[in-house]
Amino acid sequence: MRPDDMSSDRFTEARASAVAVLPAMIAVIPFSLLLGALAAQKGITPLEMMLMSATVFAGSAQFVAVDIWREPAPWLLLTVTALLINMRHLLMGASLASKIGHFGTGTSLLALFTMVDETWALAEQRAARARLTPTYVLTMGGILWINWVGWTGLGAALGSLMGDPAVYGADFAFPAIFLTLLVGLWQGPRTGIAIAASAVVAAIVHLTVDGPWFIAAGGIAGALAGALSAPSGDEAAETGIGE
């Protein structure tokens, strides 16, 4: 154990993490049930659903997969599609790397396995204020993982008893959560420039190109805008090899 990770601190970290992840945990339930129900209609069994949720653990990729699913499963198409939808993880992992640099390799591998949009955004928000601890990252990751596996499995078992979550506005819960996290990430005008560049490019790509390309396009546009709007004097942008 790390000396700065004593048990009382760990409890405080775990509790803070659980409180932070609660809105996302609740918001994901109707979608988990819906995903399971849709999967059941495509012939996916509850056990297969839970296995997919436990190992893939990626909401948008699983929704698209179930959408294009047929029997027998077109495994190559499903694999390539999951790769495309999850490309954004490359940017997210790269951004998180320096913030979990003090984690051990095993802990990092586990933390990254549980990295989804919500836990990543919460970790970034936390890292802007405090040093990230393994307890903080793994608590919320574990909570969302159990939540996701359990509710998608239940959805598949219950079949199509669920209605459409959009009726309760539940489809807007995730955009709303991400908006509040964006507010938390705000660090001045340069944050605004990056967000605006990303949103404009993502909107154009979303309207003109099929598929999930708008996320990567917006993310890269925002990163470029962030680089270009950096104060001059940092012109000699060097990447050195550390350690």
Partner 1 sequence: MNLEAFNLDPQTLLAIAGMALVTYATRLGGWFAIRRMVLTGRTRAALDAVPGAVLAAVITPAVLTTGPAETIAAAITVVAALKLPQLVAVALGVASVVALRAILY
- Residue 83 binds partner 1 (CB under 8 A): yes
Stretch that binds partner 1, among 9-17, 49-57, 131-139, 140-148 (CB under 8 A): 49-57
- Residue 208 binds partner 1 (CB under 8 A): no
Stretch that binds partner 1, among 1-9, 30-38, 135-143, 206-214 (CB under 8 A): 206-214
Q: Report angle CA 34, 36, 40 to the nearest 5 degrees.
A: 115
- A 10 A CB-CB count for 75 gives 8
Quick one: DSSP state of residue 73? P
Residue with tokens 């560049």, as numbered in its chain: 197
Compare residues 5 and 79 and give the one whose CB is closer to partner 1: 79
- Binds partner 1 by CB under 8 A, chosen from 16, 150, 162, 191: 191
Residues 6+ apart with CB under 8 A from 208: none
Compare residues 7 and 231 and give the one whose CB is closer to partner 1: 231
Compare residues 10 and 170 and give the one whose CB is closer to partner 1: 170
Tell me the closest approach of the beta carbon of residue 133 to partner 1, in angstroms: 17
Distances (CA, A) of 7 to 4, 16, 140: 9, 14, 17
Q: Contacts with partner 1 in 106-135 (CB under 8 A)?
A: 108-109, 112-113, 115, 117, 120-121, 124
Distances (CA, A) of 16 to 8, 133, 136, 155: 12, 11, 7, 29
Contact 173, 45 (CB under 8 A): no
Stretch that binds partner 1, among 7-15, 134-142, 144-152, 210-218 (CB under 8 A): 210-218
